[in-house]
Amino acid sequence: MIVVSSSNIAGYKIVKTIGLVRGNSVRARHIGKDILAALKNIVGGEIEEYTKLMAESRDQSIDRMVNSATELGANVIVDVRFATSMIMSLAAEILVFGTAVVIEKE
């Protein structure tokens, strides 16, 4: 499955628009990681524990969106965007969405 943030792909034409597809993941922070993050916050620098948590959430969200598009018969997802939101004080959602389409070589 090709997944792009652009509206088209060079050398291909969209022959069918299927519609909106999405995937999301809600993750809660872990108290152990929060302690490490708090210590890291004092000295500065990247908080690797949260970076890894967000990367896993993005990957899972993309996988869910791709599965949805595949079930609908798409071979590409165009105009892909990400959004995040805080669900509660210790949990965040990653949402990825795009337009499922079928493409063919020009």
Domain interval for residue 87:
2-105
pLDDT at residue 15, as a whole number = 98
**CATH code, 62:** 3.30.110.70
pLDDT at residue 98, as a whole number = 98
pLDDT at residue 86, as a whole number = 82
Tally of domains within the chain: 1
Please enumerate in sequence order all residues whose Cβ is within 8 A of that of 95, keeping only pairs 6 or more positions apart, or say none. Answer: 22, 23, 24, 61, 82, 83, 84, 85
Q: Per the confidence metrics, is the pTM higher than 0.95? A: no
Q: Over its length of 106 residues, how does the chain's per-residue pLDDT go in tens digits? A: 999 999 999 999 999 999 999 999 998 766 666 666 666 666 667 777 778 888 999 999 999 999 999 999 999 999 999 999 887 777 788 999 999 999 999 9
